[in-house]
Amino acid sequence: MDLGLTGKRALITGGSHGIGLATAEAFAAEGCDVAICSRSSERLSEAAQILKPFGRRLITDVCDVHSGPAINAFCDQILAAWGGVDILVNNVGGGGRWGKPQVEDTDEKVWIEVYEKNALAAVRFTMRLLPVMRKQKWGRVVTVTSRLGREGGGRPWFNMAKAAQTSMMKTLGMNHDLAGDGITFNSVAPGNIMIPNTGWEEEMKRDPEGYKKYVAQECPLGRLGTPEEVAAVIAFVCSKAASLVNGAAIAVDGGESRAF
């Protein structure tokens, strides 16, 4: 299927690893220019080695999404180089393992930091780029949430932040003015995804039997997902074939979530 993405300019936050990197690769393979940010210049250089061979324009820079001014500076840099951005993927997030199991023992700081890393970062990028997309009369905004943004079960600060992202995408998707300007807003909600050097891989090494039991109980496919499987759905949601998909929260979880 021709996704119709050739020549589009895509910004993927946190595109140096995991789902973000797989998404950056998917867009580059579709002929998009790609901009990615993260906190570590070393990780960005490694990602650049993977993305350069696709031969499209590539911007990589350090930007911590906890900082509004850093987000604006990163967006300004991209706009100065490209003159616009067509696709925004709000991918940075996390904090599902932060805090303590006993909720009241968890500092308020954790609630604030998890909210800022997930929800507020998505708000800041989206608000900075909306005027640009409106002028262009075309735009795609996808936020990577979680199955825990659509149902209960995790640590509450994480569910709250992911639910806020899901709600933001739905509410913006229902806005007639924005839809009239050709912009769609969707969230993609992964289930448990196996990513090297992150929580699940550590858990698998720490407690192989417990991990096996968890997967057998919770994952209908008998395995965790891959970043590439999430990236493929993100790319589709941004494609011309998905022009009617707006305000949706799409589960990419192998059937793991309880929510409809």
Ligand X SMILES: NC(=O)c1ccc[n+]([C@@H]2O[C@H](COP(=O)([O-])OP(=O)(O)OC[C@H]3O[C@@H](n4cnc5c(N)ncnc54)[C@H](OP(=O)(O)O)[C@@H]3O)[C@@H](O)[C@H]2O)c1
Q: Which residues bind ligand X (CB under 6 A)?
A: 14, 16-20, 37-40, 43, 63-66, 91-94, 117, 144, 146, 190, 192-193, 195, 198, 200
Q: How many residues does the chain have?
A: 260
Instruction: Look at residues 119, 73, 130 and name the one whose alpha carbon lies nearest to residue 92.
Output: 119
Q: What's the CA gap between 118 and 170, in Å, rounded? A: 16
Nearer to ligand X (CB atom), residue 181 or residue 203: 203
**Residue 95 or residue 173: which is nearer to ligand X going by CB?**
95
Q: Cβ 94 to ligand X, closest distance in Å?
A: 5
Q: What's the gap between Cα 119 and its chain centre? A: 11
Taking the least distance from each CB to ligand X, the nearer of 63 and 178 is: 63
Q: How far is the CB of 98 from ligand X (least distance, A)?
A: 11
Smallest distance, ligand X to C-beta of residue 255, A: 15
Instruction: Measure CA of the first residue to CA of the last residue in the chain; give whole Å.
Output: 28
CB atoms within 10 A of CB 158: 26
DSSP 8-state secondary structure symbol assigned to residue 9: E
In the bound state with ligand X, the residue whose beta carbon lies nearer, of 37 and 183, is 37
Shortest gap between Cβ of 111 and ligand X (angstroms)? 16
CA dist., res. 253 & res. 229, Å (int): 9
In this structure, are residues 249 and 41 in contact, taking their beta carbons and an 8 Å threshold? no
To the nearest whole angstrom, how small is the minimum distance from the Cβ of residue 128 to ligand X? 15
* Residue 253 CA to its chain's centroid (Å): 14
